Amino acid sequence: MTSFVSSLPIIAIITPFTLAFVIGLFGERFLNVKRFLTFLATLTSLICVVLLIKPIMVDNSIATYWMGNWIPEKQWAIGIGLEVDGLGLFVGIIVSLTCVLSSIYSVNYMERDNGLEKYYALFLLLTGSMMGFVFTGDLFNMYVMLEIMTFAAIGLTAFRNHLYKSIEAGFKYIVIGSLGSSLVLIGTCLLYAQVHTLNLAQIASILHGEKFTPVTILALACMLTGYAVKAFLVPCHTWPPDAHMSAPSSISMLLSGVMSKTGVYAIIRILYMLYQASGNKSLEFLMIFWGTITMFLGVTMALIQTDFKRLLAFHSVSQIGYIVTGIGVGLAADRTVAVVGTMGALYHMMNHAMFKCLLFLCAGAVLYATGTTDLNKLGGLSKKMPYTTALFLIGAASISGLPPFNGFVSKWLIYQATYESGYAIVTIIALLVSVMTLASFVKVAQSVFFGQLNEENKDVKEIPWLMRIPMTILALACIIGGIAPKFINKYLIQPAALSIYNIGNYIDVMFSKGYAAKMFEESVKMPDMNYVLAGYWKPEAWLLLFFVLIIAIMIIVSMNIGSNRSSSVIIDKTDTKYENFTGGEKEEYTQIGGHDLFWGLKYQLKGYFNTIHNAHSGVVNDYVLWVVACLAIVIIYCFVLL
């Protein structure tokens, strides 16, 4: 492992920050200049990231940069260092690419709004803070970037402040987000009190011999819960649905598809590097259980939503559950299975960013064209917006895990990893969650794009090309990720996974050569991709998956039939809404609404759906208590089992 000093990381961070300040100086003037500067800043960050791919991803090196040239003295960090390894660059690629696409999409999408000088300044603050978060090698600097990121996102969430829902969403975000940030700060302070340094590499080397003392266990619990708020893990998931629904779609794509990954990135750094938890059965089970609950509750909440963007927000919760489950498997003692789980988590991090950003941009296209995202007020838009419809179908197939799109590959890795690590029940739940994901997007497709066109939308037109270009790029990424998994694994996933396990290399950048090698002698050998994707090409594996899907569909159908035959269901005889139409119907508009497609399923499981619906009361105090209760449970769990 080699390292090199590079100014590219700091350029990628400081350019958006600097141009955010410049845009603020212009006031309300020169709007086109602000748009260009925003695009230029994000493009500069992307170029810096691309230039780092060869030395880091291909040559397996680490880029470093010490702020103010405050290099370590006698192997002790006294300044803030930027250290970019395979994992940091992997997330940096996701951040920079999506920010460029969002800046392009914003040109037409935001043209009807006012106060755009604030929008673009906040946009660049969000971009710069996300880049700084994943490139820094300092634990406290991660917190600083997290705070900038949070408050920029809050401002963008409440940007359309003439709408009450935007103000409410911003208030929920600032309360719950600040609670999460406070927990991260408490954990950081506890660790600093224990090890007297904030450099990530140095903390890892000091904790190597004494990972779990009362102070470090409390710090671990606080940081895991704090970053769970940022990563949308249940029960810390209550703010994203409001935030993503209210924010402009160009921002929703970043909050859901990208910003959530910073929380996941921090959890990986904490577990794999700071606490070196590989092989720890207790933390493995905690993360797998946490991820499984998150993926299941998220998708069931999505099923009952009738707003396009709110439905996508709950799917973000569900898909993060897949990623965290893969991270949990990555902590297994069996290194081959563990690496498969980690690779599945990383692959799904990238895939989720691609298809979820695409889907939010599709929702933004619908809002731009019709003025609403209410599923009950839409329908038949495929006739007016065929290009958007085609891109939506690609995104829907990808998030549902259908081949040959990218979501299938990453989900397959997670299925394989959970099954081979002894968590077969998690594999079954993950498969059923994919079925329910597909079901909810069938509802969206029927309610928004197919069926009869609403008379109010008869004059709707396709969105401008400047909005279609980012959507097309994301759709192509969804296709390439599904048909070229070996290529993506070789140049993106494998280098990132390798850096996660070979933490001695990260520490060697700080200390003299060979220092870390004495502590971390084990070198990770990545499994052959032919083995990893063996099930992907096995006909018998496909046949098994087919039967599981058929059984799940039969269960859903039987629930609908059973509920329709139930004598306790009261049906208004004068309402012809549920009749079968075979011709000659009088209704001019017979679109199946967002409430209706899975009416039987929701009735059959009304006890469960009513419970989770009532639990999401919308009261901020309740949600704060959820986070506090989660913290208490994690603290007790860690103190008992670590």
Structure tokens at 226: 């704090």
d(C-alpha 521, C-alpha 509), whole Å: 16
Q: What is the reported pLDDT for 518?
A: 53
pLDDT surpassing 90 at residue 558: no
pLDDT surpassing 60 at residue 519: no
Does a structural domain hold residue 108?
yes
Does a structural domain hold residue 459?
no
Q: What is the reported pLDDT for 399?
A: 94
pLDDT surpassing 90 at residue 286: yes
308-329 vs 406-420: helix axis angle to the nearest 10? 40
Place of tokens 């359309």: 160
Does a structural domain hold residue 70?
yes
All residues at 6 or more sequence positions from 541 whose CB lies less than 8 Å from its CB, including other chains:
535
31-53 vs 86-109: helix axis angle to the nearest 10? 160
pLDDT surpassing 50 at residue 580: no
Q: Report the domain count for the chain.
A: 1
Most confident of 198-202, 485-489, 628-632: 628-632
Q: Which amino acid is at 35?
A: R
Q: What is the reported pLDDT for 578?
A: 44
All residues at 6 or more sequence positions from 257 whose CB lies less than 8 Å from its CB, including other chains:
98, 316, 352, 353, 354, 356, 357, 360
Number of Cβ within 10 Å of residue 372's Cβ equals 16
Does a structural domain hold residue 204?
no
Does a structural domain hold residue 24?
yes
Confidence label for 269 from pLDDT (cuts 50, 70 and 90)? very high
Residue 15 or 605, more confident: 15
Does a structural domain hold residue 99?
yes
3-state helix, strand, coil in the chain (%, to 5): 75, 5, 25
Q: What is the reported pLDDT for 566?
A: 40
Contact in structure between 308 and 373 (CB atoms under 8 Å): yes
Chain segment 398-407, per-residue pLDDT in tens: 999 888 899 9
Domain with 35, as residue range(s), is 1-137
Q: What is the reported pLDDT for 542?
A: 53
Q: What is the reported pLDDT for 562?
A: 42
Does a structural domain hold residue 216?
no
Does a structural domain hold residue 56?
yes
What percent of the chain is modeled with pLDDT above 90? 56
Chain segment 171-222, per-residue pLDDT in tens: 999 999 999 999 999 999 999 999 989 999 899 988 877 778 999 999 999 9
